[in-house]
A and B are shown apart, each in its own frame.
Chain A
Amino acid sequence: MIKTDILIIGAGPTGLFAVFEAGLLKLKCHLIDALPQAGGQCSEIYPKKPIYDIPGFPEVLAGELVDNLMEQIKPFQPGFTLGERAETIKKLDDGSFLVTTNKGTEHNAPIVAIAGGLGSFEPRKPLLENISKFEDNGVAYMIKDPEVYRNKKVVIAGGGDSALDWSIFLANIASQVTLVHRRNEFRGALDSVEKVQELKNQGKINLITPAEIISLNGDDTLESVLVRKISNANEEILLEVDDFIPLFGLSPKLGPIGDWGLEIEKNAIKVNTFDYQTNIPGIFAIGDVNTYPGKLKLILCGFHEATLMCQSAFQIIFPDKKYVMKYTTVGGVSGFDGSTKEAPKAVVKAIE
Chain B
Amino acid sequence: MTDIKIKITDRDGVLHEIDAPTDMNMNLMEVVRSYELAPEGTIGICGGMAMCASCQCYVVSDHELPEMGDDEEAMLSEAFNVKDNSRLGCQLHITEDMDGLEVELAPEEV
Contact residues of A with B, CB < 8 Å? Answer: 45-46, 49, 118-119, 124, 126-127, 158-160, 181-183, 185, 187, 248-249, 251-252, 254, 266-268
Chain A hits for B78, CB < 8 A = 158-160, 182, 248-249
Closest residue of B by beta carbon distance from A230: B77
Residues on B facing A (Cβ under 8 Å): 39-42, 45-47, 49, 51-52, 54, 70-71, 73-74, 77-78, 80-81, 109
Shortest B107–chain A CB gap in Å is 10
Asked if A267 and B77 sit within 8 Å, CB to CB, the answer is: no
Q: Are B74 and A45 in contact (CB under 8 A)?
A: no
How far apart sit A267 and B45, CA to CA, in the bound complex (Å)?
13
Instruction: Please name all residues of chain B whose beta carbon is closer than 8 Å to the beta carbon of A251 when the two chains form the complex.
Output: 45, 52, 54, 109
Query: How many angstroms from the CA of A160 to the CA of B77 in the assembled complex?
Result: 11
Inter-chain CA distance A251–B42, complex, in Å, is 9
Q: Given A45-B46, A183-B74, A187-B74 in contact, is the A267-B80 Cβ separation under 8 Å? A: no
A-B contact pairs, 22 of them (CB 8 A): A45-B52, A49-B49, A118-B41, A119-B41, A126-B80, A127-B81, A183-B73, A183-B74, A185-B70, A187-B74, A248-B80, A249-B51, A249-B52, A249-B78, A251-B52, A251-B109, A252-B41, A252-B45, A266-B39, A266-B40, A266-B41, A267-B42
Check B40–A267 contact: CB distance below 8 A: yes
Q: Would you call A159 and B77 a contact (CB within 8 A)? A: yes
B77 touches A182 (CB 8 A): yes
Given known contacts A159-B74, A185-B74, A46 and B80 CB-to-CB distance under 8 angstroms: no
Rounded to whole Å, the gap between the CB of B106 and the closest CB of chain A is 12
Residue of B nearest to A183 (CB): B77
Nearest B residue (CB) for A124: B109
Q: Which of B49, B54, B73, B109 meets A46, CB within 8 Å? A: B49
A49 to B51, CA, bound (A): 12
Inter-chain CA distance A266–B39, complex, in Å, is 6
A190 to chain B, nearest CB (A): 14
Q: Which chain B residues lie closer than 8 Å to A159 at the CB level? A: 74, 77-78
CA distance A35 to B22 in the complex (A): 39
Known contacts: A159-B74, A249-B52, A267-B40. The answer to whether A124 contacts B80 by CB under 8 A is yes
Which of chain B's residues have a CB closer than 8 A to the CB of A181? 77
Contact check, B49 vs A254: say whether CB atoms are below 8 A apart.
no
Residues of chain A within 8 A of B54, CB atoms compared: 251
Residues of A within 8 Å of B71, CB to CB, are 187
Q: Can you name the residue of chain B whose Cβ is closest to the Cβ of A181?
A: B77
Whether the pair A127, B77 counts as a contact (CB closer than 8 A) is: no
A218 to chain B, nearest CB (A): 22
Complex CA distance for A10 and B47, rounded to whole angstroms = 20
Contact check, B81 vs A268: say whether CB atoms are below 8 A apart.
no
Task: Select B41's contact among A46, A183, A267, beta carbons within 8 Å.
Answer: A267
Give the CA-CA distance A317 to B42 in the complex, in Å.
37
Question: A160 — which chain B residues lie within 8 A by C-beta?
Answer: 78
Bound Cα distance from A159 to B77, whole angstroms: 9
